[in-house]
């Protein structure tokens, strides 16, 4: 049974409704893409080209800089003495990045018997210390809607 709905059959009205919903979804996706951003962390110079560089993007102070809670991670195998970690599709907000030169590729920051790192480490805004871990307040940065960001991160060895 075919019903007329303001000059359209029910089947045709349903197709038009699906088309409208689909177009609205495309428009919303395009709007989100325009508002999303990319952050590139350019890391170097490294002490050597051994191993890989691991980068973590934190979305809050919780767990910063030691745990992986609330993070996105990138790992880059080295081919020289610099590396680039890219985080794309980011929403506007406040972030921080930690970087670690994993020279022996064991996926952890090696430390000496006192707990001081023996591999290179760094953070966004380049505030590292020999006596304590970097702080969120000094390492955070803001990502604005639709704006890409390039950060240079130097490592402490």
Residue 70 — pLDDT band, cuts 50, 70, 90? Answer: confident
Domain borders along the chain are 4-35, 37-153
* Predicted model pTM: 0.78
Task: Match 């907000």 to its residue by tokens.
Answer: 93
- Are 81 and 50 a contacting pair, CB within 8 Å? no
Least confident segment among 4-8, 50-54, 112-116:
4-8
pLDDT digits (tens, 9 = 90+) for 75-92: 999 999 999 999 999 999
The SS3 of residue 154 is coil
Tokens of 1: 């049974």
Residue 18 — pLDDT band, cuts 50, 70, 90? Answer: low
Assigned fold of 37-153: Immunoglobulin-like (2.60.40)
Calpha distance 5→13 (Å, rounded): 7
């Amino acid at each position: 049974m075919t019903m007329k709905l303001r000059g359209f059959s029910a089947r045709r009205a349903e197709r038009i409704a699906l088309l409208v919903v689909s177009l609205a979804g495309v428009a919303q996706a395009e709007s989100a893409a325009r508002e999303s951003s990319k952050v590139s962390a350019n890391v170097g110079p490294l002490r050597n080209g051994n191993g890989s560089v691991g980068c973590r993007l934190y979305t809050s102070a919780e767990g910063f800089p030691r745990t992986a809670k609330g993070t996105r991670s990138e790992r880059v195998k080295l081919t020289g003495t610099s590396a680039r970690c890219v985080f794309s599709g980011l929403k506007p907000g406040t972030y921080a990045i930690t970087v670690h030169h994993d020279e022996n590729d064991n996926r952890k920051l090696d430390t000496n018997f006192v707990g001081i790192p023996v591999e290179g480490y760094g953070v966004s805004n380049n505030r590292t210390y020999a006596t304590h871990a970097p702080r969120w307040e000094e390492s955070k940065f803001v990502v604005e809607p639709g704006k890409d960001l390039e950060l240079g991160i130097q490592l402490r060895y």
